[in-house]
Amino acid sequence: MKIAIVKLSALGDIIHAMVVLQFIKNHYQKIEVDWIVEESYKELLEFHPDINKVHVVNIKKAKKKKSLYLLLNELRRVRKFGPYDLVIDLQGLIKSALITRMISSDKTFGFDKYSARESLAANFYNQTFNFDYDKYC
């Protein structure tokens, strides 16, 4: 089985998301896990022993330059990642949800509209899950 995790940015958020990676590998050793991340955070992940491949995106660069052309090129490039059996968005933003949806996979997981940081993101997934922040944070 091949899984992709989408957690694009925010140093602390990426580190916290690594718990999911450890859980997967502790329970299912043979699963291949790739990670999609913004270019500025790739060094944080590229030598992790449980990550098979780190895919880099430059969504921030396209946003900073206000370039629709750069954004569309990035999304086209993302389509070449995979195929995956499952893609999990751990960010909960529209940009991460869009990337999750663009990656070749029949199953996409992400936060439901009540849990995602941007509720519209929930519309991009095949399956959603609820996370009660008040209970766990």
Q: What is the pLDDT along the chain (137 residues), one digit of tens a residue?
A: 999 999 998 888 899 888 888 899 899 889 999 999 999 999 999 999 999 999 998 887 777 777 777 778 777 788 888 799 999 999 999 999 999 998 988 899 999 999 998 999 999 999 999 987 555 54
User: How far, in Å, CA of 21 to CA of 53, rounded?
Assistant: 13
**Phi, psi (deg, nearest 5) at residue 44:** -65, -30
> Structure tokens of 5?
């995790």
Whether the CB-CB separation of 38 and 8 falls below 8 Å is answered with yes
CATH topology of domain 2-131: Rossmann fold (3.40.50)
Confidence at residue 69, expressed as pLDDT on a 0 to 100 scale? 76
Q: Note the pTM of the prediction, 2 decimals.
A: 0.88
Confidence at residue 42, expressed as pLDDT on a 0 to 100 scale? 93
